[in-house]
Amino acid sequence: MAAPFPFAALPQRARRRRNMTRKHQKTLEIPNSLRDDGTTEVIPQEARIMSPTTTPAAAPRRLTAQDFKTLGLSALGGALEFYDFIIFVFFASVIGHLFFPPDMPDWLVTIQTFGIFAAGYLVRPIGGIVLAHFGDMFGRKRVFAFSIMLMALSTLGMAAMPTYATIGIAAPILLILMRVLQGAAIGGEVPGAWTFVAEHVPFRRVGFACGFLTSGLSLGILLGSFIATIINSAFTPEDVAAYAWRIPFFLGGIFGLVAVYLRRWLQETPIFAEMKQSRSLMRELPLKAVLRDYPRGVVISMLLTWILSAAIVVTTLMTATFLQKLYGYTAQQSLAATSFGTLFLIFSTAAAGAIVDRVGSGRFFIVASIFFGAATFAFYTYAATSLTVLFVLYAIMGLSVGLVGAVPYVMVRAFPARVRFTGLSFSYNVSYAIFGGLTPLAVASLLPLNPMAHAYYLLFIAALAFALGVYLLVKGDTVEADVGIEELNQRLAAGA
């Protein structure tokens, strides 16, 4: 008896092949409720099937006006939040003498002041893990907005705090509390921002998006240096100690509140919105799933964070001191050179993200690590030649340090959407607390043994980046997976 329908007469294998052909020919449509601008976007199937480590054949869609709005507001908020976190170090000396007993020795004041600064770093893992947990369970946007609100309020609190002369021992206690709140906020901001933008843009733009955001964080450091220079130039030391030190913190708090308002216009990531709609969010503790299922992603992300933290801490935050103590430059010359190099860092981080989109993480880190090692060693070898040579070499070094802009490209792809925020936040913050905190101590301890210790340390970091590049080139498929707006289409296809 003939089959009632022609399709039913096909052999089972041919029927399955025909179903697969139809599935791969169709186009997937993202529901209106999941789009940022209220419109429907249709992405061809062939544009979203791609290898994690090779260049896809199909051209990706261009970034839209909504994408640039998301990137701009995210980067601006990150810059202002990093400004709030870093401005403390520029006024550490003044704050130390105002918030501790006047009869305390200067060396002890310095240690305790920088101990309070370090407290912000030590609390980052706790704050980051807690905020990431809620980000994976309840939404990226909510945590994204909360982190900058927490930073803004704690910075305003520092601007308004009474000193030791007014409230005694309560002053340093309140200072520690505000610094802890700042650390918790920054612990959730950076991983949250990388996750947020990566889930908004096309796959082949994830590197640029994360690099652009990282350039915004570098801008925050430059802004803090710029504001500190203006305050110290416009006011006498007596005025700074009396009241002017509060101005940068007050400005930072106001900037933060403005950023909170601007982030109201951001939309939840389409990836998280789909997971919430399909009820596929994590039902267990996200951190437990990360440690159990993705240990390789955690290790790779922590090593990449070591590279990022070492490069930034040594070349940007510590080099101004090196230039004065080891190379004989004045404080003004050192600060100017550092600011000049940071300008090139801001540009190169975004450029690095765009390049890694095209060539892949393995090839990028192999080449970029060689450039980084050569540029940093040349800088610390010849920086004392002249002021002109110093600025030229700092510009080149700033370009080479831009390799950190490609770090989040690998990290956001090391974890699936359901635990991405938590996996990234745990790896980044724990590694930054360890290596970001130990790098200054290690370099300072080695300098008496060798005046080029900082340069050799960065050569080691370059070698580590090279080794990771080789590993990602060979084994990248086991670490990196698709991320970007196409990930939404894959999820919809899997559920269809």
Q: What is the pLDDT of residues 395-437, one digit of tens each?
A: 999 999 999 999 999 999 888 888 888 899 999 999 988 888 7
Answer whether residue 120 shows pLDDT above 90: no
d(CA 247, CA 270): 39
Strand partners, 29: 42
Q: Residue 491's pLDDT is what?
A: 52
The rounded mean pLDDT for the chain is 79
Domain coordinates in residue numbering, the chain = 65-495
Main-chain dihedrals φ then ψ at residue 284, nearest 5 degrees: -115, 175
Answer whether residue 305 shows pLDDT above 70: yes
Angle at the Cα of 481 from the Cα atoms of 478 and 483, rounded to 5 degrees: 165
d(CA 345, CA 398): 5
d(CA 355, CA 105): 51
Q: Residue 44's pLDDT is what?
A: 37
Answer whether residue 307 shows pLDDT above 60: yes
Other Cβ atoms less than 10 A from the Cβ of 441: the count is: 10
- DSSP codes joined into one string, 45-99: GGGT---SSS--SSPPPPPPHHHHHHHHHHHHHHHHHHHHHHHHHHTHHHHHHHH
Answer whether residue 45 shows pLDDT above 90: no
d(CA 285, CA 268): 22
Mean pLDDT of 46-57: 36
Answer whether residue 239 shows pLDDT above 70: yes
d(CA 419, CA 427): 12
Would you say 362 and 219 are in contact if contact means Cβ atoms under 8 Å apart?
A: no
Other Cβ atoms less than 10 A from the Cβ of 19: the count is: 11
User: Which pLDDT band holds residue 274 (cuts at 50, 70, 90)?
Assistant: confident
Q: Where are the alpha helices (DSSP H) in 263-318?
A: 270-277, 286-293, 295-312
Q: Residue 496's pLDDT is what?
A: 45
Answer whether residue 52 shows pLDDT above 70: no
Tokens 């893990």, located at residue: 129
pLDDT in tens, 320-341: 878 888 898 887 788 889 889 9
CA-CA distances (angstroms) from residue 253 to 58, 84, 250, 317, 404? Answer: 45, 7, 5, 22, 28
Answer whether residue 5 shows pLDDT above 50: no
pLDDT in tens, 160-198: 999 888 898 898 889 888 888 888 888 888 888 888 888
User: Which pLDDT band holds residue 382 (cuts at 50, 70, 90)?
Assistant: very high
d(CA 192, CA 147): 9
Other Cβ atoms less than 10 A from the Cβ of 85: the count is: 27
d(CA 365, CA 360): 9
Strand partners, 43: 28
Q: Where are the alpha helices (DSSP H) in 123-245?
A: 124-138, 140-160, 164-167, 170-198, 206-234, 237-239
d(CA 261, CA 7): 57
CA atoms in the 13 A half-sphere facing the CB of 71: 21
Nearest residue to 303 (alpha-carbon basis) of 403, 127, 215, 432: 432
Mean pLDDT of 253-264: 85
Q: Who has greater pLDDT, 99 or 284?
A: 99
Main-chain dihedrals φ then ψ at residue 42, nearest 5 degrees: -110, 120
Q: Which long-range contacts (CB under 8 A, 24 or more apart) does 6-15 make?
A: none
Q: What percent of the chain has pLDDT over 70?
A: 80
Answer whether residue 484 shows pLDDT above 90: no
Answer whether residue 282 shows pLDDT above 70: no
Q: What percent of the chain has pLDDT over 90?
A: 29
User: Which pLDDT band holds residue 456 (cuts at 50, 70, 90)?
Assistant: very high
Mean pLDDT of 243-251: 92
CATH superfamily of 65-495: MFS general substrate transporter like domains (1.20.1250.20)
Question: What single-letter DSSP state applies at residue 9?
Answer: G
Provide the residue count of the chain.
496
Going 7 to 12 to 17 to 22, the CA torsion angle's sign is positive
d(CA 484, CA 474): 23
Q: Residue 493's pLDDT is what?
A: 54
CA-CA distances (angstroms) from residue 452 to 175, 261, 271, 319, 447? Answer: 36, 47, 47, 12, 7
Structure tokens given for 44: 């061809």
Structure tokens given for 424: 């990234």
